[in-house]
Amino acid sequence: MYKVLALDLDGTVLTQEHTIHPAVKQAIHEAAKQCHIMIVTGRHHTAARPYYDELGLTTPIICCNGTYIYDYQNEKVITHNALTKENALTFIELAQQDKLKMVMYITDAMVYSKIDPIDYMSAMEQWANNPAMAHPPKIYRIDSFEEQVQHADYIWKFVVEGEPATLERFLNLPWIKHTFNAEKSWSNRFDFAAKGNNKGTRLAEYLNTLGYDSNQVIAVGDNHNDISMIELAGLGVAMKNADDTVKSHADFVCATDNNGDGLARLIHENILGQSQ
């Protein structure tokens, strides 16, 4: 019997419009009464909070592709493998030399440059400025990444965007390969966190604290950063919208993409025992 349901957010729980399908929301609500629901996301905890609240969850959340576990109930970091300030500063210097655009995820905020802003953050900033949001994400445009590093308690990860050839060269720099775990999050975008961080590793660590085995886990995702937890789980599931590489690592492919009710059906069939 499955005891843990580990869910990615973007492209999995969330539709293309960044909403939650009503059937999926209801299924998660019901499943939370029977098993441990774990959100495992590439997002910063402040950017995942609105959906966490909408789903009515009380469990901790794994953020930034396994970099840390955050407890919303007590507003604290449970465990982490954050970047050192020294490594963060060297990373910034190398990325700027290649004229790559960056977002830096720090303690309780996401920051990006005023001078050369990364494109997708504008849309996120608009979303975060919604006055109806009880816990809006903290997003700031800054003058200096280096200054932010000096004052931050934690540096979680970098998101870097650029031309494919430039990104490929940057990824293959020996120091980058040795120091960082890089995972593709979009066609021209990579996430860089401390070496050893990924969703599967952090989920396995958390399962140990609960006393559960990986065979008791269903993990669902759609992107390359989900592969580690899909492989870990007793039932690893790829969304229909996942690419073939992700699907090749899964035990099962969801009946629909993230805009449909396939995830709800999966939950009913494997946790609630009510086939639809």
Residue 184: φ, ψ to 5°: -70, 125
Q: Which domain range does residue 75 map to?
A: 4-79+198-272
Using a pLDDT cut of 90, give the percent of the chain over it: 87
Mean pLDDT estimate for the chain: 95
Q: How confident is the model at residue 124 (pLDDT cuts 50, 70, 90)?
A: confident
What is the rounded CA–CA span in Å between residue 221 and residue 254?
10
Indicate if the pLDDT at residue 127 is higher than 90.
no
The amino acid at residue 123 is: A
Write down the pLDDT at residue 260.
Answer: 98
Q: Are residues 66 and 8 in the same domain?
A: yes
Q: What is the largest CA-CA distance in the chain?
A: 56
Q: Which residue has the higher pLDDT, 134 or 139?
A: 139
Report, in angstroms and rounded to the nearest whole number, the Rg of the chain calculated over CA atoms.
18
Same domain assignment for residues 108 and 60: no
Active site annotation includes 8: yes
The active-site residue out of 8, 10, 191, 226 is: 8
Considering 138, 158, 193, which residue would you say is the last residue of a domain?
193
Q: Is the pLDDT of residue 132 over 80?
A: no
Cβ contacts of residue 244 below 8 Å, gap of 6+? Answer: none
Domain boundary, last residue among 132, 160, 193: 193
Same domain, 136 and 61: no
Band of residue 187 on the pLDDT scale cut at 50, 70, 90: confident
Question: Rounded CA gap, 264 and 250, in Å?
Answer: 18
C-beta of residue 2 within 8 angstroms of C-beta of residue 267: no
Q: Tens digit of pLDDT for each residue in 47-83?
A: 999 999 999 999 999 999 999 999 999 999 999 999 9
Do 163 and 230 lie in one domain? The reply is no
Interval 100-111: pLDDT, tens:
999 999 999 999
Q: For position 25, which CATH number holds?
A: 3.40.50.1000
Residue 113 predicted with pLDDT over 60? yes
232 and 154 housed in the same domain: no
> What angle in degrees, to the nearest 10, is found between the helix axes of 45-55 and 22-31?
80
Residues 97 and 178 in one domain: yes
Q: Are residues 203 and 167 in the same domain?
A: no
For the chain, give the percent of residues with pLDDT over 70.
Answer: 99
**Number of neighbours of residue 33 by Cβ within 10 angstroms:** 9
Assign 274 a pLDDT band (cuts: 50, 70, 90): low
> Residue 182 sits in a domain of what CATH number?
3.30.1240.10
Provide the domain count of the chain: 2
Is the pTM above the cut of 0.85? yes
What is the 8-class DSSP label of residue 232?
A: H
pLDDT in tens, 213-258: 999 999 999 999 999 999 999 999 999 999 999 999 999 999 999 9
pLDDT at 276: 47
d(C-alpha 94, C-alpha 169), whole Å: 11
